[in-house]
Amino acid sequence: MPDTNTLALPVLPLSTGVVLPGMVVTIAAESADATAAIEAAETTAGQLLLVPRVDGGYAKVGTLAQIENSGDLPGGGRGVVVRGLSRAVIGAGLPTAGRALWVNADPVVEPPPSERDIELAREYRAVVESILEQRGGGRIAGALREISEPGQIADTAGYWPDLTMEQRVQLLETVDVTERLELVLGWAREALAEMTLKQRVQHEVDEGLERSQREYLLRQQLAAIRKELGEDDDIVAEYRERIAAAGLPEAVREAAEKEVSRLERMGEQNPEHGWVRTWLDTILELPWNVRSEETRDLDRAREVLDADHTGLSDPKERILEYLAVRKLRAERGLDEADGPGGRRGGAILALVGPPGVGKTSLGESVARATGRTFVRVALGGVRDEAEIRGHRRTYVGAQPGRIVRALKEAGTMNPVFLLDEVDKVGSDWRGDPASALLEVLDPAQNHTFRDHYLEVDLDLSDVLFIATANVLDTIPPPLLDRLEVIELDGYTEVEKVDIARDHLLPRQLAQAGLRPDEVEVTDAAIAAIISDYTREAGVRGLERQLGKVVRKAATAIASGTATPPLRIDADDLVGYLGRRKVFHEEAAQRTAVPGVATGLAVTGAGGDVLFVEASVADGEPGLTLTGQLGDVMKESAQIALSYVRAHAAELGLDASTLDRRRVHLHVPAGAIPKDGPSAGVTMTTALVSLLSGRPVRADVGMTGEVTLTGRVLQIGGVKQKLLAAHRAGLRRIILPERNEADLDEVPEAIRDDLDITLASDVRQVLEVALEPPAAAQAA
């Protein structure tokens, strides 16, 4: 607290430091103000006020000091030794008496210490001793223990060399002892934390350096010991032994030995050391001269294929042809590598068909039939070219492509290689994986396939490649040209019953934990599931429905509400699967009014039935198209309208209707994109039906491209479309006459159950598809 005895004292300004109570310092009178203050102090019994200067001004609190001694300094000039007595709060200035600056100052008398002050002083002393212990200041710590006054202990912070001028002034101006102790305690804690962190970091750095140096010395000693013992089991020697035993092709062996020589010259600290070792490991893990012993027994191969899959005669015949050729070449002593460029007789097949027809599982069956290793590579959604050809070794984390990794996984150079979903390979700024497949799937090139990571030739000509796809449209033409396409168009109802009985039902029973003799699903029940609960080209939906039936049966048996054996017939299905889904009546319901025709189409899910609806309304003459149609399909609609307009009189139609009103063509299921020219006859028939008032027969389905002159042109996907028509309950089918040869691919049972009309002109289509005029009027 300030003393009531106000003193008039000369001011000695301090510009580079702060003097606190208890300090004894020597001050050189380097300025006129300092000299004047020292001279004026002779009139005040040697007392003066030491005030720091901060930012061009004076501090609010100064130090009342006593001059202990004065004299000339060795370097010239006058100096004084002063002792700080107490803090003094600066008051008003006084009139100048001589050259010195005089002010009123109230000395501060510190009150008796409180319990809080004593506690803070004890804690501050402990923190400072910890700092001094780390810095090696034992004598200073001893001197600090001799100070007992809390205020004096706090003022010892003024001796710290790390304090700034601003912090020293703040310490001087903090008159309250408790606040002063809290201030210096905070500074001491920050200094101790910073010192501890620096020491820990330095310790970790020193420890890491020491460990690295120790490891280096130990490795050098180990190498010297091995050399003295005559041992040659280092990494380089190990790689050379592995290369010699691997039986690598000549070019690959030379590349590997070159990399081993590089490895020998570089130290382990070199970043490329690990890259070279990884490359060598990859090269040596590939099965360069390992081949599976192929089974060439045609009868056994046929038994395996027939046991695994029902139907699929075309792919089975192609696999048997492949094995027959291999067998003849082996029996007649023909070297398989005698082809141009040393190529072997590999095969590249493409199984194309809707989902669920068994494309992927057929690849596994082919591997079993041929006795080869099976490996599958999923290409759906792959957009990076490096996934096929690998990364350059210059990249961090580089690795070979999927082809090389799959060969390493197979462990042989002649596996059955399934490239699944090749039609779903994408391309973007990272590259075009489909283009990278051109070399892999080209028999003229793949015997020298070069992965970007390996950078050596890899012979893929002995691999049996099988690609799968749902559609051919999305496969780039250059890639498609390299594939031998085998179409899997779906199953007939009879084939589905056999598949369900022989394959699907046993699998679902096993998954449900049931024995084959506990649940029996009759052929009639399976046929009812196929016709009333599913509509698909494959059998995935059928297997799901069978699984649902089997699970409900398992629940009944497990709960005790049913006793095995449990027999499930067609009449019982409602209790297991609910109400049947009505499919077959859909065509009759939709075509009951004029202007609706039933067409046939092929989608990624197989064949399907689509409806074309036509209507006219008041408005600007023209054509409106809806249903998310592609450009080709829109052109077909324009051609159909132009044909009807041009031949209206011949067809008995009122052409003025088209001139006065707007025609609207809609293909339902508007969320699904549709394209292709094969809906041309369907659109023409729908327009003629609308304008003539004659409905389209309910059991008629049609497909074909139409021209402006009315010619009906050839289309694709005949087998899938006829299977879809048969599933939908259509019995009269109109096809282009030029597709007559494609009927040989359709199962005989389906052909016998359908009334197929071959048309070369759209007039023939209208004659078969439309109800007679009399029937239309009666309706």
In a domain, 162, yes or no: no
Per-residue pLDDT at 344: 56
Q: Which of 292, 461, 678, 689 is catalytic?
A: 678
Region for residue 459 given its phi and psi (left: phi exceeds 0; alpha: psi -120 to 50; beta: otherwise): beta
Full domain range(s) for residue 255: 235-285
Structure tokens at 772: 């007679």
Per-residue pLDDT at 307: 84
Per-residue pLDDT at 97: 62
Note whether 595 and 615 are within 8 A (CB): yes
Number of C-alpha atoms within 13 angstroms, CB side, residue 261?
A: 6
Q: Which of 624, 712, 607 is nearest to 667 (CA)?
A: 624
Name the residue type at position 410: A
DSSP state at residue 326: H
DSSP state at residue 17: -
pTM here is 0.63
Total structural domains in the chain? 5
Cα 512 to Cα 554: distance, rounded to the nearest angstrom? 7
pLDDT surpassing 60 at residue 1: no
DSSP state at residue 100: B
Mean pLDDT of the region 16-41: 84
Q: Which of 587, 659, 576 is nearest to 622 (CA)?
A: 659
Averaged pLDDT of the chain: 83
pLDDT surpassing 80 at residue 430: no
Note whether 655 and 688 are within 8 A (CB): no
Per-residue pLDDT at 779: 46
**Percentage of residues in the chain having pLDDT higher than 70:** 91
Please give the backbone phi and psi of residue 735, each rounded to the nearest 5 degrees, phi first. Answer: -120, 155
pLDDT grade for 134, boundaries at 50, 70 and 90: confident
pLDDT surpassing 60 at residue 342: no
**Percentage of residues in the chain having pLDDT higher than 90:** 7
Mean pLDDT of the region 627-636: 88
Question: Do 515 and 411 share a structural domain?
Answer: no
Per-residue pLDDT at 232: 46
What tens digit of pLDDT does each residue of 474-524 get? Answer: 888 888 888 888 888 778 788 888 888 888 899 999 998 888 888 889 988
In a domain, 435, yes or no: yes
Note whether 398 and 387 are within 8 A (CB): no
- Alpha carbon 777 to chain centroid, angstroms: 63
DSSP state at residue 188: H
Per-residue pLDDT at 338: 47
In a domain, 642, yes or no: yes
Question: Do 394 and 269 share a structural domain?
Answer: no
pLDDT grade for 704, boundaries at 50, 70 and 90: very high
Mean pLDDT of the region 431-460: 86
Note whether 478 and 440 are within 8 A (CB): no
Please give the backbone phi and psi of residue 75, each rounded to the nearest 5 degrees, phi first. Answer: -85, 5
In a domain, 293, yes or no: no
Name the residue type at position 58: Y
Determine whether 678 is an active site residue. yes
Helix (H, G, I), strand (E, B) or coil at 645: helix
Report the CATH number at residue 694. Answer: 3.30.230.10
Per-residue pLDDT at 136: 66
Question: Do 25 and 76 share a structural domain?
Answer: yes
Cα 288 to Cα 284: distance, rounded to the nearest angstrom? 8
Q: Which of 451, 236, 385, 416 is nearest to 323 (CA)?
A: 416
Task: Identify the H or E element spanning 58.
Answer: strand 57-58
Name the residue type at position 374: F
pLDDT grade for 239, boundaries at 50, 70 and 90: confident
pLDDT grade for 346, boundaries at 50, 70 and 90: low
Question: Do 382 and 522 share a structural domain?
Answer: no
Per-residue pLDDT at 339: 47
Cα 435 to Cα 637: distance, rounded to the nearest angstrom? 35
Query: Exposed (0-12), middle (13-18) or buried (19+): which is 142, by Cβ within 10 Å?
Result: exposed
Question: Do 591 and 517 share a structural domain?
Answer: no
pLDDT surpassing 80 at residue 642: yes
Report the CATH number at residue 355. Answer: 3.40.50.300
Measured CA to CA in angstroms, residue 622 lies from 269, 625, 642, 655 at distances of: 78, 10, 11, 13
In a domain, 77, yes or no: yes
Q: Which residues of 313-334 are buried (b: 16+ CB within 10 A; e: fewer)?
A: eebbebbbebbeebeebeeeee
Structure tokens at 654: 């009122």
Please give the backbone phi and psi of residue 65, each rounded to the nearest 5 degrees, phi first. Answer: -125, 155
Which of 107, 137, 158 is the C-terminal boundary of a domain?
107
- Rg of the chain over Cα atoms, rounded to whole angstroms, equals 49
Residue with the two structure tokens 């212990």: 133
In a domain, 43, yes or no: yes
Helix (H, G, I), strand (E, B) or coil at 631: helix
Question: Do 596 and 566 share a structural domain?
Answer: no
What tens digit of pLDDT does each residue of 176-188 get? Answer: 888 888 888 888 8
Three-state secondary structure of 464-520? EEEEEECCCCCCCHHHHCCCEEEECCCCCHHHHHHHHHHHHHHHHHHHCCCCCCCEE
Would you call the peptide bond into 161 cis, given omega within 30 degrees of 0 as the criterion?
Answer: no
Report the CATH number at residue 87. Answer: 2.30.130.40
Question: Do 354 and 443 share a structural domain?
Answer: yes
pLDDT surpassing 70 at residue 437: yes
Which of 577, 606, 626 is the C-terminal boundary of a domain?
577
In a domain, 170, yes or no: no
Please give the backbone phi and psi of residue 135, each rounded to the nearest 5 degrees, phi first. Answer: -90, -10
Determine whether 721 is an active site residue. yes
What tens digit of pLDDT does each residue of 705-732 get? Answer: 999 989 999 988 888 888 888 888 888 9
Cα 469 to Cα 353: distance, rounded to the nearest angstrom? 7
Per-residue pLDDT at 4: 56
- Alpha carbon 372 to chain centroid, angstroms: 32
Report the CATH number at residue 531. Answer: 1.10.8.60
Mean pLDDT of the region 130-139: 71
Note whether 689 and 761 are within 8 A (CB): no
pLDDT grade for 678, boundaries at 50, 70 and 90: confident
pLDDT grade for 229, boundaries at 50, 70 and 90: low
Q: Which residues contact 553 (CB under 8 A, 6 or more apart)?
A: 512, 514, 519, 562, 566, 568, 576
Question: Do 613 and 567 share a structural domain?
Answer: no
Name the residue type at position 425: V
Structure tokens at 752: 């016998």
Question: Do 630 and 514 share a structural domain?
Answer: no
Which of 514, 547, 577 is the C-terminal boundary of a domain?
577
Q: Which of 323, 303, 383, 315 is nearest to 350 (CA)?
A: 315
pLDDT grade for 639, boundaries at 50, 70 and 90: very high
More confident residue, 556 or 98: 556
Mean pLDDT of the region 608-634: 86
Please give the backbone phi and psi of residue 89, each rounded to the nearest 5 degrees, phi first. Answer: -80, 125
Question: Do 707 and 610 share a structural domain?
Answer: yes
pLDDT grade for 267, boundaries at 50, 70 and 90: low
DSSP state at residue 111: P
Per-residue pLDDT at 753: 86
Cα 566 to Cα 590: distance, rounded to the nearest angstrom? 40
Q: Which of 690, 629, 610, 636 is nearest to 658 (CA)?
A: 690
Q: Which of 63, 62, 65, 108 is nearest to 83 (CA)?
A: 65
Q: Count of residues for the chain?
A: 779
Question: Do 60 and 20 share a structural domain?
Answer: yes
Question: Do 627 and 594 share a structural domain?
Answer: yes
- Alpha carbon 152 to chain centroid, angstroms: 67
Structure tokens at 629: 């149609």
More confident residue, 201 or 139: 201
In a domain, 605, yes or no: yes
Q: Which of 316, 359, 496, 721 is catalytic?
A: 721
Query: Exposed (0-12), middle (13-18) or buried (19+): which is 166, by Cβ within 10 Å?
Result: exposed
